[in-house]
Structure 1
Amino acid sequence: MYNLIKVEFFKLRKNRTFWTLLIAFSVLSIAYPLMYYFDNQSSGKPQITGAQFLFTFISSNAYVIKIGVAVLAGFFISNEYSTGVMKTIASSGNTRGRLFTAKLIVFAVGAMVISLVFPIVSTIEVTLLSGFGHLPEGSTMLFIPRTLGLTLLYTAGYAAIGALIAMIFTDSGKTISFSVIFFLVIDLVLASVGSKITLFDTLYDYSIFKLMGDIGKPSIDAGDLPALLIVPLLTFAISGMLGILVYRRKEIK
C-alpha cells in the first residue's frame, strides 16, 4: 500500500493540472485582497485587517474547493482512463480496492493543499498590508487552526465525492462538467426538496453541503462540534467505499 501511495504522490507532483490550479488560485488570492485594499484606499474607508478578511471571506473558499476538486478529479483520475494508465495499473496485480484507496488518499491530499491557498495567501497578504487586527468577537485563538482544520476535513469529504463521480464517468470532460454543476446546485436542490419533505430537510441539515458553511463561525457550540467532525468523515468513508464498488465493477478498456 505504501508503494501505491508513493506512486500516486509522484504522479500528483508531475500533474500539470495540480500545479496550474495552485498557481491560478495563488494569483487570485493575491489579486482579490488588492482590489479591496486599493478601493478602500481611494474611498478613504478603513482598511480590512487580516483577521477580518479571513473571517469575512472564508465562505468564499468553498467555491475554490468545489472547482478545484472537480477539475483535479477530471485530470488526475478520469484522464487515466483515456491515456490507458488505469488499464495498466489495474493489471499490476494489486486489488482494485487498494488501487482506488491509494489514489483517493493522494487525490484528497492534493485537493486539501489547494483548499488552503486562498485563506493562507490572502490572509498573509492582507496582514502585511494592513496588519492582522483582532479576531471576531466571541472567538478565541483556536479560531484559525480550527477553521483551517475543518477546511481540510471538508475538502477531503468533497474529494471523495469527486473521486466517486470520476469513477462513474471515466471521462475528464464529463467528470468536470457534472462535478461543477453538482457541487454548485446541490445546496439549492436539497434545500428546495427539504422545504417540502421533512426527511430531506433533516438530511440536508446534517450533510457536508450545509455544514460547510459553519466552519467559519466565530464560535461553535460543544453540541454542534461532533456533527461538524463526523459528517465529513462519514462522507469520505461512504463515498470511498462506493468508489471502490464502482471501480471493481467497471470494465476498463
Structure 2
Amino acid sequence: MSNLIKSEWFKLTKDQSFRVLTLLLISVAVLFPLLEFDNTDTGLPTVSEYHLNNVLGIHTDIIKLIPSILAGFFITSEYSMGTMKSIVSSGNSRGRIYFAKLSMFSVGAVILSLLLPLFMTGASTVYFGFAGMPDLAFYLQTSGLIALYGAAFASIMAIFATIFSDSGKTIGFLLFMFLLVDWPLQVLAAKVSFLEPIINHSVFRLIYDIVNISQLDGKEVFIMVLIPVITFITSGIIGSYIFHKKEIK
C-alpha cells in the first residue's frame, strides 16, 4: 500500500494540471487583494474583514470547482491512456489501488482548497498592514474545515471520475453538477419532508456554515466535523465498489 501511495504522490507532484492550477490560484491570491487599492478610495479593509468577506466568501466555489478539473486529468485520464490497466495488472488489489488514488487526489484537492486562505490572507497582510488580523482560532478552525470539506468533495468527485472514461466528460459533468446542485437540493428539502434533515446535514449544505463556525455551539461544530468524515468514508466505499466492477480497457 505504501508503494502505491508513494507512486500516486509522485504522479500528483508531476501532474501538469495540478501544477497549473496551483500556480493559477497562487497568482490570483497574491494579485486579487490589489484590487482594493483604488485611487478614488483611500480606505482599505482590515485583514480580518478581507479574510471574512473576500477569502471565505469564495471558498465554496474553490472547494467544489477547482478540484473537479484535477479529477478529470489525475484520475479519468489514466483510463483513456491505458495507465490504469497497467496498474490493475500489477498484482495489487483494486481496493488498494482505488484508495491510494483517492488518498493522493484528496491531498491535491485539499492543497488547492487551502491556497487562497493561505496566500490571499498573507498577501492582504502585506498590502493592508498587520492591524486587524483575523483571530488565530477562527483562522485555524476555518482552514481545518476547508481541508475536511475539500477531502469530502474530492471523494465524491472520484466516484464520477471513475465512472467516466473521458477527461472532458468528467470535468464537464462535475462542473455542471456542482454549479447547479444547490437549487435541486433546496427544492427536494422543501417538497419531501423526510429528506430535509438529510440534505440540511449534508456537505452540500454545511459547507456554507464554515464562515459561521465561531457562532456555532459544540454540538453543531461536532456535526460540521463529523459529516465530511462520514462522506469521505462512504464515498470511498462506493467508489471502490464501482472501481472493482468497472471493466478497464
Partner of 1:205: 200
- The one-letter amino acid of 2:195's match is F
Aligned residue for 1:127? 125
Q: 1:162 aligns with which of 154, 157, 161?
A: 157
Q: Secondary structure at the match of 1:94?
A: coil
Deviations 1:157-214 (A, max 9, x none): 0000010110111211111011111111111110122111112221221010111011
1:217 is displaced (CA, Å) by 1.6
Residue in structure 2 matched with residue 51 of structure 1 by the alignment:
48
The alignment status of 1:195 with 2:190, answered yes or no, reads yes
Structure 1: 5+ residue runs without aligned partners? none
Deviation at 1:135, TM superposition (A): 5.7
Provide, for residues 87-128 of structure 1, a one-character-per-residue CA deviation record: whole Å limited to 9, x for no partner: 000111000000000000000001111111111111111111
TM-score between the two structures when normalised by the length of structure 1: 0.94
Given that 1:190 and 1:200 are in contact with CA atoms closer than 8 Å, whether structure 2 keeps it comes out as no
Cα separation, 2, equivalents of 1:44 and 1:159? 41
Q: Please list the CA deviations of residues 49-86 of structure 1 after superposition, one character each: whole Å capped at 9, or x if unmatched.
A: 22211111213021112222210100000000111100
Count of residue correspondences: 247
Closer, same or farther: CA 221–135 of 1 in aligned 2, 3 Å = farther
For structure 2, which runs of at least 5 residues remain unmatched after alignment?
none
1:241 aligned counterpart, secondary structure = helix
Q: Of the candidates 219, 225, 247, which is equivalent to residue 223 of structure 1?
A: 219
2:217 aligned counterpart, secondary structure: coil
CA distance, structure 2, for counterparts of residue 186 and residue 218 of structure 1: 23
CA shift, 1:218, in A, is 5.4
Cα pair 1:25 1:118 within 8 Å, conserved: yes
Sequence identity (%): 39
Task: Specify the alignment match of 2:29 in structure 1.
Answer: 29
Cα deviation for residue 134 of structure 1 reads: 3.0
Distance 1:33 1:71 in 2: 25
- Alignment partner, residue 5 of structure 1: 5
Distance in structure 1 (CA, Å) of the matches to 2:130 and 2:247: 54
Contact 1:48/1:126 (<8 A) preserved: no
